[in-house]
Structure formats: C-alpha cells, structure tokens
Amino acid sequence: MGRMYSNSKGKSHSTRPVFKHSPSWITYSPDEVEALIVKMAKDEVPPSLIGVKLRDEYGIPLVKPFLGKSIHNVLKENNLVKEIPDDLELLVKRARHMQMHLKQHPGDRKNVRSLELIEAKIHHLSKRYRKLSLVPADWKYKSKVAQLA
C-alpha cells in the first residue's frame, strides 16, 4: 500500500536471492541451460516467460549468476532476438485492443484515458529503446487517440 503524503509505494515487494554465484542445488550445466533457453525461444516463448519457466520448472532462480550473461544476451548470440522487445510489443497489442474497443464503444471515456496512458508508456519506452538501439531508429508508434476522441 502506498504512503499518503509521499511518493513511495511501501516496502511490500519481492526481493531477489542474496547469492551472487550459482546455487549448489542446480544439477544442470551452463551449456544445458543455454540450450534450454534457445529451445524455448525457438518455441516462441517470450524472454520474460523463459525466466519464469526456468525458475518454476527447472529450479534455476537466476540465469545471470549461473551463466555469467543474461537471457537477452544468450538470445542475441543465437540471433533469436525479436525486432521489438517483449514489453513494448505487449503494450502495443494492448493499445490495439483498446482502439478496437473504442471503435465499437465511442462513449467510453474511461478507456480513452486508459489508451492515452498506455500510449504515453509506449512513447516513453520506444524513446528509451531507440537510444539503447533495441528497436530500429525509424520505428515509431502512430497514435490514433485524436481520431477516436
């Protein structure tokens, strides 16, 4: 729960594991873990879910201390990185669904505001990703809020 007179959100959140090196209970070799990551990526599993699956199904809490590189770096080495990052793609998909909803229900003012907020997130993320060269420099999201409102 957030604090009333400050911008902080409180202390209720999950914490990452304390260890900086590979835990002793992992029975997989680094090559096997890398092969698992590549296999999941070829099966169209997004990178965020690859980490969750490795944690839940294979008992690997964090990939970076174990392999010495992140899931994104493993995918980049094997040329499996998508053109648009996963979080940006999900936001664009969400905005597209809201636009379709607003075409059918033009009087839904609450969703017009929600669409504006989502599009602001998309513009912010795309600007950051262009700066980091994670999306092409000419990639631009075209807003349709003005047409809908």
Can you tell me the mean pLDDT for 49-63? 91
Of 148, 30, 35, 50, residue with least CA distance to 99: 148
From CA 46, how far away is CA 40, in angstroms rounded?
Answer: 8
Can you tell me the mean pLDDT for 9-34? 78
More confidently predicted of 149 and 101:
101
Q: Between the CA atoms of 139, 86, 128 and 149, what dihedral angle is there, to the nearest 10 degrees?
A: 70
Can you tell me the mean pLDDT for 63-83? 90
From CA 63, how far away is CA 14, in angstroms rounded?
Answer: 17
What does the pLDDT look like over 100-142, one tens digit per residue? 999 999 899 999 999 999 999 999 999 999 999 889 898 888 8
> Cβ-count burial of 144 within 10 angstroms (0-12 exposed, 13-18 middle, 19+ buried)?
middle
Spatial contact of 25 and 59, defined as CB atoms under 8 Å apart: yes
pLDDT band at 66 (very low <50, low <70, confident <90, very high): confident
